[in-house]
C-alpha cells in the first residue's frame, strides 16, 4: 500500500483526526479501507492525475454554481458567450476567466460538468429597462393603474413601508400621506408627500411613510413627460 494513499485515507477520515499512517501500518489501513470503503475509493479516484473523482466533481460543481446561480455578473458573461455560439460548459469556463483554477476544475471533469449543467435552469435574462415616459394626457382613468399597499415591514427608523405598483405605462408617482401623532383618529392634521418613484409595466417600488401613530393615504400624483394628474383616494 502506497504511503500517500494511506495518508490520504487518514486525512479524509474524520474518525482518526487526520492521523498520518506509517508505511508498515497495514492493519490500520485495512481497517480504514473496510470501514470507509466509499471514502477510500473516492480518495483513490481523486489521486489519479487528471481524474474526475467525487471530490473533483464537488469542486467543479461549486465553480459551476457560482456562474449559473450566484453571481449576476458571471451570469451576464455566460449569456454573452452562449449568444456567441459557445456550448454551455465552454461558456461557464469562459465566464470563469478571472479564476484559472476554477476553469481547470471544470475542464478536468468536462463530461460530468456538461451533464450537470444540462440539468440546471439557465440563468434568466434581466428584465428590459422600462420604456420612456410618454407625453400623453393623463386622466382620472390612469388613477386605476396605481395601487399603494402596506408592506408590513418598517425600516430601521420605524417608518412603515408602502409598495407603489403601476400596471400601465411608466409614470412618476408621488404618494401623499396624512396622519397624526396623537391618539384620536378624527384629527389627521399632518401631511407628508413621499418622493416620487418611477414605476410602470407591472413594476413597483417601496416608499416610506412617517412614523406617526395613525396614518392613511390621502392620494397620489401621477406625472409623465407631458402632463400630471392628482388622484384622491376618496
CA distance 64 to 87: 14
Identify whether residues 110 and 167 lie together within a single domain.
no
Alpha-carbon dihedral sign for residues 133, 136, 137, 143: negative
Look at residues 118, 151, 173 and tell me which one is the last residue of a structural domain: 118
Cα separations in angstroms, 9 against 6, 58, 89: 5, 18, 32
Look at residues 118, 151, 186 and tell me which one is the last residue of a structural domain: 118
The predicted pLDDT at position 61 comes to: 94
- CATH at residue 157: 2.60.40
Q: Give the model confidence (pLDDT) of 104-147 as tens digits.
A: 999 999 999 999 999 988 877 665 555 688 999 999 999 999 99
71 pLDDT band (50/70/90 cuts)?
confident
Identify whether residues 148 and 110 lie together within a single domain.
no
Q: Give the model confidence (pLDDT) of 141-155 as tens digits.
A: 999 999 999 999 888
CA angle 112, 115, 118 (to 5 degrees): 150
Residue 53 belongs to what domain range? Answer: 3-118
Q: Give the model confidence (pLDDT) of 162-172 as tens digits.
A: 999 999 999 99
Identify whether residues 108 and 157 lie together within a single domain.
no
Helices 3-11, 37-47: crossing angle, 10 deg rounding: 120
Identify whether residues 205 and 111 lie together within a single domain.
no
Amino acid at each position: 500500500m502506497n504511503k500517500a494513499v494511506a495518508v490520504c485515507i487518514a486525512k479524509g477520515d474524520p474518525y482518526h483526526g487526520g492521523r498520518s499512517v506509517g508505511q508498515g501500518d497495514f492493519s490500520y489501513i485495512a481497517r480504514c479501507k473496510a470501514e470507509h470503503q466509499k471514502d477510500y475509493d473516492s480518495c483513490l479516484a481523486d489521486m489519479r492525475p487528471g481524474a474526475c473523482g467525487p471530490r473533483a466533481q464537488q469542486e467543479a460543481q461549486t465553480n459551476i454554481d457560482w456562474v449559473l446561480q450566484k453571481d449576476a455578473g458571471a451570469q451576464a458573461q455566460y449569456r454573452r458567450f452562449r449568444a456567441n455560439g459557445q456550448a454551455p460548459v465552454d461558456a461557464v469556463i469562459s465566464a470563469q476567466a478571472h479564476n484559472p483554477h476554477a476553469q481547470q476544475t471544470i475542464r478536468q471533469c468536462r463530461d460530468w460538468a456538461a451533464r450537470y449543467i444540462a440539468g440546471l435552469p439557465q440563468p434568466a435574462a434581466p428584465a428590459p429597462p422600462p420604456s420612456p415616459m410618454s407625453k400623453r394626457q393623463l386622466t382620472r382613468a390612469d388613477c386605476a393603474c396605481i395601487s399603494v399597499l402596506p408592506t408590513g415591514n418598517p425600516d430601521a427608523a420605524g417608518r412603515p413601508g408602502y409598495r407603489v405598483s403601476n400596471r400601465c405605462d411608466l409614470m412618476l408617482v408621488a404618494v401623499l400621506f396624512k396622519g397624526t401623532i396623537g391618539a384620536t383618529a378624527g384629527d389627521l392634521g399632518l401631511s407628508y408627500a413621499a418622493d416620487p418613484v418611477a414605476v410602470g409595466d407591472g413594476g413597483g417600488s417601496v416608499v416610506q411613510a412617517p412614523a406617526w401613530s395613525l396614518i392613511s393615504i390621502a392620494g397620489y400624483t401621477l406625472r409623465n413627460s407631458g402632463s400630471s394628474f392628482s388622484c384622491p383616494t376618496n
